[in-house]
Amino acid sequence: MFLISLVLMGTVTVGAEFVNEPIRMEYWPPYYHPHEAVVWAGVPIQWINATPSPHSVQHDDCGTGKPCLFDSGKVASGKTYTLPGLPPGRYSYHCELHPIMGGTLIVEDPNDRDSPSR
């Protein structure tokens, strides 16, 4: 598991983890580790493909008529995808190649002490 030492600033939603390491794409559920990742707004977010197969990281709103905020395309085995950062909010995503794979980013404003996950 990947944790950041900022736990003194507050607690997080049960099951969600602050991350400062890459989110790992894996073969076993929940497929993205951690499944719910809490990150600061504007901070780069990175995924690493730890499997021998290609995977992707695609915002669930892509192709729905809503803004598609990120789409990695195919990420080869051992390669990474880095998103420069997102505004505060909750963002669900999935692997376009393997729709059973899904995860959630919880992006928080570091200045917002009344965040729902605190």
- Whether residue 15 is predicted with pLDDT greater than 60 in this model: the reply is no
pLDDT at 58 over 70: yes
pLDDT band at 4 (very low <50, low <70, confident <90, very high): very low
Nearest to 18 by CA among 46, 32, 39: 39
What's the pLDDT score for residue 109? 92
Q: Which of the four pLDDT bands, split at 50, 70 and 90, describes residue 67?
A: very high
Distances (CA, A) of 44 to 10, 39, 64, 82, 109: 21, 9, 25, 7, 14
Is 90 exceeded by the pLDDT of residue 114?
A: no
The residue extents of the domains of the chain are 6-108
CATH class of this structure's domain 6-108: mainly beta
Q: What one-character DSSP code corresponds to residue 53? A: S
